[in-house]
């Protein structure tokens, strides 16, 4: 069962499509990864993107945020096609987006406070003192203790590195958060805590979340809709129960195999957010 924790959305944002992908084609040499792929992301939802190995989940994420140039098709963020914008306009749109890459992608030579401060100094023009103050607030927002701010990535557990990477992704107050396998490599308790954190932040900050994952527990506990990549397209994008009922061999094996049944049988342990 998928738990939903939506706050009442702002009237202006009801039903708004913030990402619109149409007839997307990605190819590398002779290898076609995506062909005529369509996908929408709605304001305030957590969309889980899944698919077998080689279906291009991370490639799709990187293409949407402008790190990979597609071979064809069109992508609109907030109604704007990045390829039609000037460099300055594109930069402004990209600042409305936060990305957490696999492994956290932190600067190993900087402590957490400085890691989070980098985008605040470079893009928001804050002084180092103000950036450090705000960085500590972002680290606290992701559940890290205050003494973690002066620690280096090598001194942290995998779960703390992911939270620090999330704090940096949130530094510029993005409207859309992209997460690439955020619970990969975490123990089940840390992974469950991260899943809960994402839902809490979505509700508290009004975020929209694009989440690449293979973690069935994440899909059950966090995601409003699930998009399945298969045969170079989005095979289906719908609520979990609708997706799991789709008659496709990979989907049936993934959602209704032993691990899928185990994830479905575990009740989501989220408290009702917004209530003390």
DSSP assignment of 180-246 = ESTTTT--HHHHHHHHHHHHHHHHHHT-EEEEE---HHHHHHH-SEEEEEETTEEEEEE-HHHHHTS
Domain layout of the chain by residue ranges = 44-67+87-261
Residue 132 reports pLDDT greater than 70: yes
Q: Of 1.10.10.10, 3.20.20.120, 3.40.50.2300, 3.40.50.300, which CATH number belongs to 44-67+87-261?
A: 3.40.50.300
Sign of CA dihedral 212, 257, 233, 16: negative
What is the rounded average pLDDT of the residues 130-148? 96
How far is it between the farthest Cα atoms of the chain?
56
Asked if 164 contacts 104 with a C-beta cutoff of 8 angstroms, the reply is: yes
pLDDT tens per residue across span 155-197: 999 899 999 999 999 999 999 999 999 999 899 999 999 999 9
Banded model confidence at residue 9, pLDDT cuts 50, 70, 90: very low
Residue 5 reports pLDDT greater than 50: no
Residue 1 reports pLDDT greater than 60: no
pLDDT tens per residue across span 15-74: 699 999 999 999 999 999 999 999 999 999 999 999 998 999 999 999 999 999 999 999
Residue 103 reports pLDDT greater than 80: no
User: What is the C-alpha to C-alpha distance for residues 227 and 63, in angstroms, rounded to an integer?
Assistant: 16
Strand partners, 74: 22
Q: Looking at residue 266, what is its pLDDT?
A: 66
């Amino acid at each position: 069962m998928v738990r939903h924790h939506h706050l009442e959305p702002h009237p202006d944002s009801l039903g708004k499509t913030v990402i619109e992908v149409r007839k997307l084609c990605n190819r590398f040499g002779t290898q076609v990864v995506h062909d005529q792929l369509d996908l929408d992301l709605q304001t305030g939802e957590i969309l889980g993107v899944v698919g077998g190995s080689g279906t291009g989940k991370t490639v799709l994420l990187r293409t949407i945020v402008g790190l990979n140039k597609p071979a064809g098709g069109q992508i609109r963020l907030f109604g704007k096609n990045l390829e039609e914008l000037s460099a300055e306009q594109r930069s402004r749109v990209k600042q409305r987006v936060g990305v957490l890459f696999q492994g956290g992608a932190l600067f190993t030579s900087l402590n957490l406070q400085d890691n989070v401060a980098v985008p605040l100094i470079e893009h928001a023009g804050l002084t180092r003192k103000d950036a450090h103050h705000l960085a500590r607030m972002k680290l606290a927002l992701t559940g890290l203790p205050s003494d973690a701010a002066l620690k280096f990535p090598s001194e942290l557990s995998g779960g703390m590195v992911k939270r620090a990477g999330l704090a940096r992704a949130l530094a510029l107050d993005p409207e859309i958060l992209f997460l690439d396998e955020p619970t990969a490599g975490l123990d089940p308790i840390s992974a469950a805590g991260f899943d809960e954190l994402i839902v809490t932040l979505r509700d508290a900050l009004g975020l929209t979340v694009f989440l690449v994952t293979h973690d069935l527990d994440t899909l059950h506990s966090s995601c409003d809709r699930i998009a399945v990549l298969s045969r170079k397209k989005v095979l289906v994008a719908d609520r979990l129960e609708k997706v799991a009922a789709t008659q496709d061999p990979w989907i049936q094996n993934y959602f209704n195999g032993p691990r899928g049944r185990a994830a479905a049988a575990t009740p989501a342990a989220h408290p009702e957010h917004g209530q003390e």
